[in-house]
């Protein structure tokens, strides 16, 4: 059986909570989701070696903002497309990926 989100909830400014079809609730810091973006561009970036410490990083204003989710749209019946507040919207987060991220919240019954 494929697990799928049954409820999306914002907790505060920077946290997303997803309730799953098996009853599990997981919390996702939006920064974690941004850093886990599975699109080709971000995967490429994560593969780059870290920059030498002597070079000051040049960040655009958007990059200095704490990552936030601007919108989430279902993609087919297997994923969500997440747009972030830096304008990045090419990441397709499959349910499988989402399920592997974040951390489980203690359930009401357990
Ligand atoms: Zn990306």
Q: How far is the CA of 85 from the centre of ligand 1 (A)?
A: 12
Q: In this model, does residue 85 exceed pLDDT 70?
A: yes
Q: What is this structure's pTM?
A: 0.83
Confidence (pLDDT) at 65:
79
Q: Strand, helix or coil at 89?
A: coil
**Total number of residues shown for the chain:** 110
Report yes or no: 89 and 82 within 8 Å, Cβ to Cβ: yes
* DSSP conformation class of 109: -
Q: How far is the CA of 76 from the centre of ligand 1 (A)?
A: 19
Alpha-helical regions (H) of the chain: 30-35, 40-47, 61-64, 95-100
Q: How far is the CA of 4 from the centre of ligand 1 (A)?
A: 22
Confidence of residue 32 (pLDDT cuts 50, 70, 90): very high
């Amino acid at each position: 059986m494929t697990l799928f989100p049954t409820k999306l909830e914002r907790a505060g400014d920077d946290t997303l909570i997803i309730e799953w079809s098996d009853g599990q609730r997981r919390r996702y810091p939006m920064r974690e989701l941004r850093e886990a973006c599975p699109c080709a561009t971000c995967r490429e970036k994560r593969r780059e070696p870290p920059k030498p410490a002597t070079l000051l990083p040049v960040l655009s204003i958007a990059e200095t903002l704490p990552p936030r989710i601007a919108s989430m749209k279902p993609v087919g019946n297997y994923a969500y497309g997440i747009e972030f507040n830096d304008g990045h919207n090419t990441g397709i987060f499959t349910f499988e990926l989402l399920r592997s991220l974040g951390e489980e919240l203690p359930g009401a019954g357990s």
